[in-house]
């Protein structure tokens, strides 16, 4: 079992976050009531529009010009113990597929008007040098029997994620999506969520890549063992990532928190990204105000995490792929919310009467 230690120094990216603009949100809400539609008739689209206006600190909000997906790739030692339906070699092969433009994330990004970047944070294999400048190590440790990372590595991973967010925002990204790729990564993600929400493993564990009953049992046991090891550090987000997370999850936590510090909206994806978000919010309080959830995964732990974050997902499509795919499926809704709030005529402009008919 991990011994209780002094609290880890919190990186700057995980400090509390200032909220989006309350004034712009109010202006957007007031504008919604002047548009040529019954009040509230666009439902959730109206709330999305008000959120994006608050994030941009302007009403009406500007159209998105550079939505950007960053896929964080990393392997996990626990994959060697039968918790996944696929071998770790698939991670490196899929990274090559991302670079070639042949993955679901590439197809969905093209349709939704976004671009894709993949970064190797902890792939077990060597990858293209163009994507491995932020690489922390080859595969994170097997969390059921050892720490995922050293203290230096977890801090470096969080810093790498924050630096990647800075790179993207500085290059003009106006909305960010984190995606994940890594065989075995739903095991540490579920362990983190179950630990932070005090949930029994059997209630949180899903099928991941599609494991059979025996694989599910092995996965549940690994998560139980990881949670036992992590119990002494559950109140220390950085130490929790070190013990029971991994380099990719730590990098995503740094990325999501730093995006909020840079006042850039984020669409969360599925289980793995939301696990990183849950850990980030434990330290970077207020970051969640900069995020919306693209969808609800079929993985049980994802619903548990969303409930804990108090974020309602936009879509329920029985997806569990990762890569940023669920967030990209929801991106057109953000475009639509901006378009309706920005481009619709007001009752006054259109000469439409707002008086209630008498009967």
So which residues are the catalytic ones?
Answer: 323
Q: How far apart are CA 54 and CA 165, in angstroms?
A: 20
Residue whose pair of structure tokens reads 């079929």 in the numeric block:
298
- Which residues face 346 on adjacent strands? 35
Q: How far apart are CA 72 and CA 120, in angstroms?
A: 6
- The answer to whether the beta carbons of residues 105 and 327 sit under 8 Å apart is no
The closest of 12, 131, 71, 97 to 273, measured between CA atoms, is 71
Q: How far apart are CA 252 and CA 239, in angstroms?
A: 15
Query: Helices (H) and strands (E) in the chain — how many of each?
Result: 14, 6
Q: How far apart are CA 323 and CA 327, in angstroms?
A: 9
- Both tokens assigned to 91: 């991670």
Q: Please state the three-class secondary structure of 45-85 as a single string.
A: HHHHHHHHHHHHCCCCCCCCCCEEEEEEEECEHHHHHCCCC
- Both tokens assigned to 66: 């550079």
- The answer to whether the beta carbons of residues 220 and 305 sit under 8 Å apart is no
- The answer to whether the beta carbons of residues 63 and 335 sit under 8 Å apart is yes
Q: How far apart are CA 68 and CA 161, in angstroms?
A: 14
The closest of 323, 91, 307, 80 to 193, measured between CA atoms, is 307
């Amino acid at each position: 079992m991990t011994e209780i230690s002094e609290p880890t120094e919190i990186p700057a990216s995980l400090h509390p976050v200032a909220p989006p603009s309350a004034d712009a949100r109010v202006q957007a809400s007031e504008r919604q009531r002047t548009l040529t539609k019954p009040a509230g008739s666009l439902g959730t689209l109206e709330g999305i529009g008000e959120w994006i206006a608050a994030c941009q600190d302007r009403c009406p909000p500007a159209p998105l010009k550079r939505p950007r997906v960053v896929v964080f790739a990393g392997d996990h030692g626990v994959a060697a113990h039968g918790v996944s339906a696929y071998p770790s070699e698939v991670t490196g092969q899929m990274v090559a597929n991302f670079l070639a433009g042949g993955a679901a994330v590439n197809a969905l990004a093209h349709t939704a008007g976004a671009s894709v970047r993949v970064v190797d944070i902890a792939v077990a294999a060597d990858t293209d040098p163009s994507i491995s400048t932020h690489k922390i190590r080859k595969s994170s440790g097997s969390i059921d029997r050892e720490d995922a990372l050293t203290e230096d590595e977890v801090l470096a991973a969080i810093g790498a994620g924050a630096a990647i967010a800075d790179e993207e925002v500085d290059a003009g990204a106006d909305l960010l999506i984190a995606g994940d790729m890594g065989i075995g990564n739903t095991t540490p993600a579920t362990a983190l969520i179950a630990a932070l929400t005090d949930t029994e493993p059997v209630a949180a564990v899903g099928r991941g890549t599609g494991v059979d009953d025996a694989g599910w049992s092995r996965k549940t046991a690994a998560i139980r063992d990881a949670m036992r090891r992590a119990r002494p550090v559950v109140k220390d987000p950085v130490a929790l990532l070190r013990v029971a997370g991994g380099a990719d999850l730590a990098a995503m936590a740094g990325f999501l928190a730093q995006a909020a510090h840079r006042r850039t909206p984020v669409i969360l994806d599925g289980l793995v990204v939301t696990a990183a978000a849950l850990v980030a919010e434990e330290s970077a309080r207020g970051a969640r105000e900069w995020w919306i959830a693209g969808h609800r995964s079929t993985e049980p732990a994802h619903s548990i995490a969303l409930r804990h974050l108090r974020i309602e997902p936009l879509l329920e499509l029985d997806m569990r792929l990762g890569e940023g795919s669920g967030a990209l499926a929801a991106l057109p809704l953000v475009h639509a919310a901006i378009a309706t709030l920005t481009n619709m005529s007001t009752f006054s402009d259109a000469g439409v009467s707002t008086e209630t008919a008498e009967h």
